[in-house]
């Protein structure tokens, strides 16, 4: 399995340097890592894994304690972090796409501001889309065998991570009926295997673990991957799916031209937030440069720690985490959307899926 270094900046991110002269000292301190989700979920497991390794490399070897603060689809915990976290290096937040999407959408529940936070670590992921082979398509090139049929896709909701899928299917001209209320992609995959749904998307780890076998056995046809970002910030093929076109290439195959326009811009904002920048570890407003650098130095050391390397594939998956410049770029790209693109996607969700922003 290929390990992926998103944005082409990982070389700079993984260089181990000495702590700065003004490095913070956390001797005898307890650091709280706020996870705005219930215990046991993907973000919780990610946060706990990183917390264990970070506390080993932070000066003074403080204890890093995970505090679960679920509610509002993760907005409640993020709001609490915004208003209560002090800039003393003793509080962090584990952000995910579920936290970032409401921010990008201008959800009125959001009281937090990513532009005020400082990023320590970014955890990318990827994924792919596929359809049942009963439709007769052998690849995305057989779009004519797909766009004449109604496809069924399982989703937890129109503003959840599956928003990326909703927008991508529309861009490709697929006629998809979205079945909302499905709890998690694992349940969606079970439904696909039972024949209840005819199109599905899974993150790379789940795809490799289960969906790839469906494709291999001829039960499913892979269409495209989400792709990865190269060092210029452009979409490139995901090495985990070298034979699959990324979503930009799929668009070009279907429409005969490169993607562009406000709809594509809106899609890309959520794609980056949902995959290349899916998980972020951040410090609060007002955190000083010396504290930020202390954390990033600890992250650099963690990313080459033998204990980390021995367990990362099982816990983190197939994409390398990054810090420093690589994390900064993903953080910015994953939490930024133009006003025009935000307006477009809000109007689309209101009209098509009766989403209310109030």
Same domain? 64 vs 91: yes
Range of the domain at 182: 127-273
Same domain? 172 vs 258: yes
pLDDT digits (tens, 9 = 90+) for 207-243: 998 999 999 999 999 999 999 998 888 999 999 999 9
Same domain? 247 vs 300: no
Domain containing 268 — which CATH number? 3.40.190.10
Domain containing 34 — which CATH number? 3.40.190.150
Domain membership flag for residue 131:
yes
Query: pLDDT band for position 314 (50/70/90)?
Result: confident
Domain membership flag for residue 98:
yes
Of the listed ranges 110-114, 201-205, 284-288, the one predicted with least confidence: 201-205
Greater pLDDT, 70 or 23: 70
Three-state secondary structure readout of 59-112: CCCCEEEEEECCCHHHHHHHHHHHHHCCCCCCEEEEEEHHHHHHHHHCCCCCCC
Q: In angstroms, rounded to a whole number, what is the distance separating the alpha carbons of residues 203 and 210? A: 11
Domain membership flag for residue 352:
no
Domain membership flag for residue 348:
no
Residue 267, pLDDT > 70, answer: yes
Same domain? 182 vs 247: yes
Same domain? 184 vs 239: yes
CA 331 to chain CA mean position, Å = 11
Tokens of 172: 């490709």
Strand partners, 91: 32
The total of structural domains in the chain comes to 2
State whether residue 127 is helix, strand or coil: strand
Q: In angstroms, rounded to a whole number, what is the distance separating the alpha carbons of residues 168 and 200? A: 12
pLDDT for residue 22: 57
**What's the length of the chain?**
358
Domain membership flag for residue 347:
no
Residue 21, pLDDT > 50, answer: no
Same domain? 136 vs 260: yes
Closest listed residue to residue 96, CA positions, set 346, 276, 283: 276
Tokens of 251: 């668009």
pLDDT digits (tens, 9 = 90+) for 98-114: 999 999 999 999 999 99
Q: In angstroms, rounded to a whole number, what is the distance separating the alpha carbons of residues 276 and 229? A: 7
Residue 8, pLDDT > 80, answer: no
Domain membership flag for residue 330:
yes
Same domain? 265 vs 183: yes
Residue 20, pLDDT > 50, answer: no
Same domain? 101 vs 139: no
pLDDT for residue 3: 58
DSSP secondary structure string for all residues of 304-334? T-HHHHHHHHHHT-SB--B-HHHHHHHHHHH
Q: In angstroms, rounded to a whole number, what is the distance separating the alpha carbons of residues 262 and 290? A: 39
Same domain? 119 vs 218: no
Domain membership flag for residue 183:
yes
Same domain? 110 vs 133: no
Q: Quickly count: other Cβ atoms within 10 Å of residue 323's Cβ.
A: 25
Same domain? 140 vs 269: yes
Q: How far is CA 94 from CA 33, 35, 51, 119, 355, in A?
A: 7, 5, 10, 10, 26
Q: What is the pTM of this model?
A: 0.90
Domain membership flag for residue 28:
yes
Q: What does R_g of the chain's alpha carbons equal in angstroms?
A: 20
């Amino acid at each position: 399995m290929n390990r992926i270094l998103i944005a082409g900046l990982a070389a700079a991110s993984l260089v181990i340097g000495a702590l700065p002269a003004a490095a913070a000292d956390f001797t005898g301190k307890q650091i709280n890592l706020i996870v705005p989700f219930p215990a046991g979920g993907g973000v919780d497991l990610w946060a706990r894994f990183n917390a264990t390794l970070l506390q080993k490399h932070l000066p003074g070897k403080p204890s890093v304690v995970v505090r679960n603060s679920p509610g509002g689809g993760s907005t409640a915990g993020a709001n609490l972090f915004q208003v209560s976290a002090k800039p003393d290096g003793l509080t962090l937040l584990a952000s995910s796409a579920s936290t970032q999407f409401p921010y990008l959408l201008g959800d009125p529940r959001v009281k937090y501001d990513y532009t005020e936070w400082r990023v320590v670590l970014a955890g990318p992921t990827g994924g792919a889309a596929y359809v049942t082979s009963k439709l007769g398509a052998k690849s995305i090139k057989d779009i004519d065998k797909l766009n004449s049929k109604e496809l069924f896709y399982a989703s937890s909701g129109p503003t959840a991570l599956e928003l990326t899928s909703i927008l991508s299917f529309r861009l490709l001209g697929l006629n998809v009926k979205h079945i909302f209320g499905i709890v998690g992609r694992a349940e969606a995959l079970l439904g696909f295997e039972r024949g209840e749904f005819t199109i599905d998307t899974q993150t790379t780890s789940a795809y490799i673990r289960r969906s790839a076998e469906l494709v291999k056995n001829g039960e499913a046809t892979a269409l495209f991957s989400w792709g990865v970002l190269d060092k210029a910030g452009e979409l490139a093929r995901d090495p985990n799916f070298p034979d699959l076109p990324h979503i930009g290439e799929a668009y070009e195959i279907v429409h005969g031209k490169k993607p562009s326009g406000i709809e594509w811009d809106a899609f890309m904002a959520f794609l980056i937030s949902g995959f290349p920048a899916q998980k972020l570890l951040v410090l609060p407003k007002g955190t000083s440069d010396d504290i930020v650098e202390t954390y990033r130095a600890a992250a650099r050391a963690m990313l080459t720690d033998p204990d980390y390397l021995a367990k990362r594939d099982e816990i983190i998956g197939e994409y390398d985490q990054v810090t420093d410049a690589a994390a900064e770029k993903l953080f910015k790209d994953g939490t930024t959307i133009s006003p025009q693109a935000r307006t477009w996607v809000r109007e689309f969700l209101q009209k098509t899926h009766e989403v209310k922003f109030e």
